[in-house]
Amino acid sequence: MGFVRKLKKEGLNEMEISRICVDLVIAAGDTTSVTKQWMLYLLCKNPHVLDEYRSVLDDKEEEQKFSRGIVKETLRMYPIAALASRIFPNDCELGGYLIPATEFTPNDLTSNLEHLYYISYY
Ligand code: HEM
């Protein structure tokens, strides 16, 4: 059954369905296509990584591990949903760090490029 028909059958009205569709186009389309473009850009800028990636293509397990690493590094350097932050209603511990109530969590755009924690390539 088609997606829209299924939503209609669930009792959603046209406005709700169109909002869900727009949400999915924005959430799924831009995120993955822009990330893929950054990924290709980074591979071209780092031909030694591309060569290494080519060398593991025949080994499915290694290829998947390598692909995952490429995607993670791309999302670290060019996070597509960088400004998604949170305010904590209560004090909370995350990875050994105390996040005080009402504090904004840092956004990826700055924290992911913190030279203290990552090697700088550029
Ligand atoms: C590189 C790929 C993607 C990234 C980095 C990404 C990132 C995110 C982030 C950070 C949020 C949480 C936003 C917030 O609550 O503040 C989110 C929510 C969401 N994403 Fe993605 N996303 C990606 C791909 C996709 C794809 C492919 C789909 C759908 C097929 C999708 C559907 C959604 C939806 C529906 C939500 C809202 C969930 C909710 O109701 O809380 N995303 N995404």
Q: Could you tell me the pLDDT band of residue 106, with boundaries at 50, 70 and 90?
A: low
The values of phi and psi at residue 97, to 5°, are: -105, 135
pTM of the model: 0.78
Mutation pick for ligand 1 pocket among 31, 70, 80 (CB with most ligand atoms within 8 Å)? 31
Ligand 1 centre from 122 Cα, in Å?
Answer: 28
Give the mean pLDDT of 98-120: 72
Ligand 1 first shell, C-beta below 6 A? 23-24, 27-28, 31-32, 35, 75, 80-81, 84
112, 120 Cβ separation under 8 angstroms: no
DSSP letters along 12-75, please?
--HHHHHHHHHHHIIIIIIHHHHHHHHHHHHHHH-HHHHHHHHHTTT-HHHHHHHHHHHHHHHH
**Percent of the chain residues past pLDDT 70, beyond the cut:** 87
State the average pLDDT over residues 100-110: 74
How far away, in angstroms, is 31 Cα from ligand 1 center?
Answer: 8
Atom of ligand 1 nearest to the CA of 71: 1
- Which has more confidence, 121 or 59? 59
Domain boundaries, the chain: 3-81, 85-122
Q: Which atom of ligand 1 is nearest to the CA of 84?
A: 16
Cα-trace Rg, the chain: 20
pLDDT band at 122 (very low <50, low <70, confident <90, very high): very low
Query: What average pLDDT does the segment 67-85 reach?
Result: 89
Per-residue pLDDT tens digits for 22-50: 999 888 988 999 999 999 999 999 999 99
pLDDT at 118: 66
